[in-house]
A = this chain, B = another copy of it.
Amino acid sequence: MSAVVQKYGGTSLADADRIQSVARRVAARRAEGDQLVVVVSAMGDSTDDLIALAYRIAKRPQEREMDVLLSTGEIVSSTLLTMALHEMGYDAVSLTGAQAGIGTDRRYGRARIHSVNPDRIHRELESGRVVIVAGFQGITEEMDVTTLGRGGSNITAIALAAALEAACENYTDVDGVYTADPRIEPNARKLTGISYEEMLELSSSGVRVLQSRSVELASVYNVPILVASSFTEAPGTLIHGGVNMEQRNKVAGIAHDSDVAKITVRGVPDRPGIAATLFEPLAEAGISVDTIVQNASAEGATDLTFTVARADLDKAMELAGPIAKEINARDIVGDRTRAKVSLIGAGMQSAPGYAARMFRTLYEGGINIEMISTSEIRITCIIDEDRVTDAVRALHKAFELEQAE
């Protein structure tokens, strides 16, 4: 008998009807004979409601208390799903993160799992129960409740799958990983499989299916994750550690992200240490800088351009402005209306010509490339946000992604 860890997101558990619908799916799977551990997120917007409540009480709620407060959301949904299974005649038991043996460090709000003690889960599984685990939470050695941060329930599911040597299935409101966003490219095709590496690049390039941190964890413990819809029976996408040796298409998919703002420091004197002077204060302020491009120049001055999330633009300009003056740059300009489009595929590293084809495709579409950045398996271009749809469609066609693998 093999064990399976399933995870259901908050949208899939938003109300009593949806919880019952998830219970029916869990029951059907249980009826097939697998041992089942189900990790749940909090119902719908309930976490946001708790956060709002805390901010009505305190300007800056303490993180320890916030974690205890937020952990109740997942506990509530875990008990309700368990009750729904009982109602259908299935034996089931809910476990909190602590009861499920999820041990973490003390970094409240963004705790890291340092150990999983699956004894209790094993006992419950052996007595024939479906085990419903409250996701997103753990407990420190001092028995204090912690939460795992954004995507925490996915982390719980992957950690449990690793500890139980079980398969991991992630049910959410998207039904898999596509060659491009289907809302933009109607010909986008759902992938049956994708490697951790490629998924990591997709996640950090704007594809919101699974957070990078979850993919990393799955990759470290080599836990394959099936991403599928909790609302349909359509087959999902398996994120795995293998490589498709004879993959027809070297490009796995196209990612885009419109949450991009660009800052250009113009006329920067060409001397060492300038980049550190500029970026250290941004890092200290918690502003994540994405693509950085520096244009060499013949006249002893260069342009330094980088991108940040749009929400960080004002703060970044505030911090970088005085520094630009200090280092005798000519001026500094911010632009909120950028976007990035990325071509991702593990096969690209062994085959030349992908970058050239990407640039030509965009050129032929009349789309101006403002910045370029690449990794071994990714090519990213920064473009005008108004041209994102055109860029995604043109690239999808050029790389023949609508055709089956």
Which A residues lie at the B interface, using CB under 8 A? Answer: 16, 19-20, 50, 53-54, 56-59, 61-62, 64-66, 68-69, 71-72, 75-76, 78-80, 82-84, 86-87, 93-94, 96, 98-99, 120, 143-145
User: With a CB–CB cut-off of 8 A, which chain B residues contact A145?
Assistant: 96
A-B contact pairs, 14 of them (CB 8 A): A16-B57, A53-B80, A54-B79, A54-B80, A57-B80, A58-B84, A58-B86, A61-B83, A65-B82, A65-B83, A68-B78, A69-B79, A72-B75, A72-B76
Question: In the bound complex, do residue A62 and residue B86 qualify as a contact, i.e. CB atoms below 8 Å apart?
Answer: yes
Question: In the bound complex, do residue B79 and residue A66 qualify as a contact, i.e. CB atoms below 8 Å apart?
Answer: yes
Question: In the bound complex, do residue A83 and residue B68 qualify as a contact, i.e. CB atoms below 8 Å apart?
Answer: no
Question: In the bound complex, do residue B93 and residue A76 qualify as a contact, i.e. CB atoms below 8 Å apart?
Answer: no
Q: How far is the CA of A79 from the CA of B70 in the complex (A)?
A: 10
A369 smallest CB distance to B (angstroms): 49
User: With a CB–CB cut-off of 8 A, which chain B residues contact A66?
Assistant: 79, 83
User: With a CB–CB cut-off of 8 A, which chain B residues contact A120?
Assistant: 143
A10 smallest CB distance to B (angstroms): 15
Question: In the bound complex, do residue B58 and residue A99 qualify as a contact, i.e. CB atoms below 8 Å apart?
Answer: no
Q: How far is the CA of A76 from the CA of B93 in the complex (A)?
A: 22
Question: In the bound complex, do residue B80 and residue A69 qualify as a contact, i.e. CB atoms below 8 Å apart?
Answer: yes
Q: How far is the CA of A145 from the CA of B82 in the complex (A)?
A: 15
Question: In the bound complex, do residue A76 and residue B83 qualify as a contact, i.e. CB atoms below 8 Å apart?
Answer: no
User: With a CB–CB cut-off of 8 A, which chain B residues contact A57?
Assistant: 16, 19-20, 80, 83-84, 87
User: With a CB–CB cut-off of 8 A, which chain B residues contact A69?
Assistant: 75-76, 79-80
User: With a CB–CB cut-off of 8 A, which chain B residues contact A93?
Assistant: 64-65
Question: In the bound complex, do residue B72 and residue A86 qualify as a contact, i.e. CB atoms below 8 Å apart?
Answer: no
Q: How far is the CA of A82 from the CA of B65 in the complex (A)?
A: 7
| CB-based nearest B residue for A142 | B120
